[in-house]
Amino acid sequence: MEWFKKSIEAIASELSVDLDEGLDEEELKLRRNKYGFNEIKEKEKDALIKKIINQLKDFLIIILIGASLISAFAGEIIDAIVIIAIVIINGVLGVVQESKAEKALEALKEMSSPHARVLRNGILTIAEAKELVPGDIISIEAGDIVPADIRLIETFNLKIEEASLTGESIPSEKNAKVVYDKDVPIGDRQNIAFMSTIVTYGRGKGIVTDTGIKTEIGKIAEAIRGIDSEKTPLQNKLDELGKWLGIICLLICAAVFGIGVYRGQGILEMFMIAVSLAVAAIPEGLPAVVTIVLALGMKKMAEKNAIVRRLLAVETLGCVNVICSDKTGTLTQNEMTAVKVYANDRDYSITGEGYNPKGEFRIMDDIISVADNDELELLLSSGLLCNDAILTKNEQNHSIIGDPTEGALVVATVKADMVQAEYNKKYPRISEIPFDSERKMMTTFHKNFLEDKVISFTKGAPDIIIDRCSKIFKNGKIEDFTEEENNIIHNINSVYAKQALRVLAFAYKEYNSLPEKIESEEIEKDMVFIGIIGMIDPARKEVKEAIMTCKKAGIKPIMITGDYKDTAVAIALDLDLMEDEKEVLTGAEIDNTSDLDLQKVVENISVYARVSPEHKVRIVNALRKNGHITAMTGDGVNDAMALKKSDIGVAMGITGTDVAKGTADIVLMDDNFATIVSAIKEGRIIYSNIRKFVYFLLSCNVGEILIVFLSILFQLPVPLLPIQLLWLNLVTDSFPALALGVEKGDPDIMELPPRNTKEPILNNTMIVGITIQSIAITISVLLAYIWALRVYNGDLIISRTVAFTTIILAELIRAHSSRSERFSVLKLGIFSNLTLIWATVLSFILLIIVIYIPVFQVIFKTCPLSYRDWIVIIGLCLIPLIAGEINKWILRVRSKGNNI
């Protein structure tokens, strides 16, 4: 359809929609059945068989498959079949977990999908973008991603960046009044807004003409949103570790094979020993466990209102040592309440909290009638008309659609018995100059039917508004704005700001008709000053504790706000975010500071006030150059660059624009600072848990290598067969490793300094721990094996069963010690990780099955054990646990010594 060639009336008629009412529910259902959901289908997912093949393509698994095939040719058919079967089962389990991870990510994607403001049944509501159908009437404004192809019906200085569609980075100006009579290129269609393009300025309204694959972006199948699936540096490091282990393993196998053959042992026998060593050296379950733990961590964060859009963020979170946070809505409740008004030399207070419209205007204890006060009524009228927010009510409470600050103004007018709909009808808006962060003002033009004139209302930052006024409305008339009055109002503004109030000033101008040039330079000067309104956004109750947690964790919280310095300092002091009022820097001061000097200054600053998005970028760059890992919050379209520049970009899920959400690594569904801290804690726990099961799995693998190698060195029969080692690695160890992946974290995890990004996962502490554990495992298993050989006169089946049982029990018991690198198992609580308890029980039951059920005895070459065997095994399997606990005790003693 060539919608750009049709008038607004023709399109409304063709799509059967009332421009003032929108669609009703019945028509909505009919159209959804006809057109489907407004979404672009993604590429088909891999088939099940392809997913299994991808699982089996791992370098370590290929070595095992190759070894099992050679075993089959050598006549060891049962061993080869079982090894292949276990490898395939491991692959299938990997596929199952991969599917679960995909579903979890799809759920996260659903939660962070864009929304739209849509007119239905005459009411402006918020709906998911995918719910839109042709004929819907939607509103768009700066920061939105256009949710469908729309024919514009109203535009107010609307500019849209269409780079995702046309490649043109300069925003296109839009004009709803234009109707074309010939074909024009997509990039020149001023009356159309296209799906997935970005509103950079102004606002508009339009009719949805096409959805989903029928849109221009849908036709070229370009989806600009989605959760990245790239591997994180941690996963790459572990893949690299796996490859090196594989290479070292092959070299050791070749050396052992050569030594054995040189000593005169049989080639087939030595080959099977080499296979045993290969199986022992390879941590087969490691890649799957890492992926599962990361996916579970993302799901857990989502449950705590932090949607992680990139796996990389999970890993980086544990390294964050600076959080740059917006004030409004993140550190505060984002439920602005107008509490102070100054007009006509009088200071008024307003009672009531939040968006509840019950309240009164007072001077001292006297209740004031706004209807009898010209100055107060004009001030509130300007706040009501120069406003895009709407107060709504559901069964439980009142809420605001739009900006919270504008919402506070609407609520204040309701307290004065002023009805928004009546004022909008009486003084209809005919044009506007939208707010932007550079001007810090907004102006709207209205018809004044009573006097047949046009009036413009301007609201904005007091220091800017006051300096642009030459007159003042006072005592019911317009007077000259004297320098004395100017100073008084500046002082009142300062007093309000020191009380942590967000202050807006209001002014107006009258015209005989709408000016031809609607430009800020011409309109927003020589205005008539009306008054100021002070609003407060109370600090969130939980933030103070979160800031304290940050400081204990070695994380510096920083407030970055567009508010005044006095307001920012008042909130920061209240939250204990800063200790000295000197720890503040303003945007003007940043402008006068070079990048090199700013790099030095940022180390001593806790609050940045009156800053622009460009300042945010400079602050982030300075912090990063100093080696800090920085999390930066943002909600506006102009914050996108700062979010990209930071190590962790955090967008607001409630107030954030679609552009900010699309750029961020994490989206906060509750816009709460405490949620950032909670996410950092979860990130630390996830990384810590990955270290725990890497430590657990690798110490077992190294122990297995030592057991096999030393038995060959001392010319003993190999204690553990390849199939037994594979069972140990893929089955016995995997369940406890997964359980370690959901460990709650050490009690003091948020009292430790952030992790250094350059620190390898196998640091000195872990290498020492792995060495001690592997030696302890080797000692316990070889002692049990040698004891059995002597007691049972060299009977290999029972001796190997004793060795097999000893190493499995040692693994299951020491898994509980692996829950922390520093705290003892008693300190953590033996039953505090029930998942690990059940994993241990399951693995033990599987061990009993392998030992006592005849069919498995044949496959795994085991036999039943006597009570005496169990007594010896239980005694020896405690050695690794004791060694691990002693090592942790030494670490704690050294740590205390260093602190002293």
Q: Do residues 379 and 341 lie in contact, with contact meaning Cβ atoms separated by under 8 Å?
A: yes
Between the alpha carbon of residue 635 and those of residues 327, 613, 648, 653, the distances in Å are: 11, 10, 14, 8
In terms of DSSP bridges, do strands 630-634 and 322-326 run parallel, antiparallel, or are they unpaired?
A: parallel
Distance CA 103, CA 298 (A): 12
Residue of 405, 404, 301 whose CA lies nearest to 650 = 301
Distance CA 105, CA 641 (A): 25
Q: What is the CA radius of gyration of the chain?
A: 35
Q: Do residues 301 and 677 lie in contact, with contact meaning Cβ atoms separated by under 8 Å?
A: no
Q: Strand (E) positions, 612-741?
A: 630-634, 648-652, 666-668
Backbone angles phi, psi at 314, to 5 degrees: -60, -40
Between the alpha carbon of residue 730 and those of residues 90, 705, 826, 892, the distances in Å are: 7, 16, 28, 33
Quickly tell me which residue has 């001007």 as its tokens. Answer: 439
Q: Do residues 157 and 232 lie in contact, with contact meaning Cβ atoms separated by under 8 Å?
A: no
Distance CA 202, CA 206 (A): 14
- Among candidate residues 58, 136, 210, 326, the one labeled active-site is 326
Q: Do residues 143 and 660 lie in contact, with contact meaning Cβ atoms separated by under 8 Å?
A: yes
Distance CA 888, CA 836 (A): 20
Alpha helices in 282-363 (DSSP H): 286-303, 311-317
Alpha helices in 562-612 (DSSP H): 565-574, 587-591, 595-601
User: Exposure pattern of 542-554 as b/e (b: 16+ CB <10 Å)?
Assistant: ebbebbebbeebe
Residue of 571, 537, 538 whose CA lies nearest to 557 = 571
326 is catalytic: yes
Between the alpha carbon of residue 57 and those of residues 52, 94, 249, 256, 267, the distances in Å are: 9, 12, 18, 27, 29
Distance CA 66, CA 64 (A): 5
User: Hey, CA dihedral for 203, 205, 209, 210, is it positive or negative?
Assistant: positive
Q: Do residues 379 and 409 lie in contact, with contact meaning Cβ atoms separated by under 8 Å?
A: no
Between the alpha carbon of residue 90 and those of residues 52, 288, 731, 737, 742, the distances in Å are: 10, 9, 9, 14, 20
Distance CA 693, CA 737 (A): 5
Quickly tell me which residue has 């004139």 as its tokens. Answer: 453
Other C-beta atoms closer than 10 Å to the C-beta of 856 total: 16
Quickly tell me which residue has 């997913």 as its tokens. Answer: 51
Collapsing DSSP to helix, strand or coil, 667 comes out as strand
In terms of DSSP bridges, do strands 149-161 and 192-193 run parallel, antiparallel, or are they unpaired?
A: antiparallel
User: Exposure pattern of 390-405 as b/e (b: 16+ CB <10 Å)?
Assistant: bbbeeeeebebbbbbb
User: Hey, CA dihedral for 659, 662, 664, 670, is it positive or negative?
Assistant: positive
Say which residues have a Cβ less than 8 Å from residue 246's Cβ, sequence separation at least 6.
59, 60, 63, 281, 282
Q: Do residues 546 and 323 lie in contact, with contact meaning Cβ atoms separated by under 8 Å?
A: no
Provide the annotated active-site residues: 326
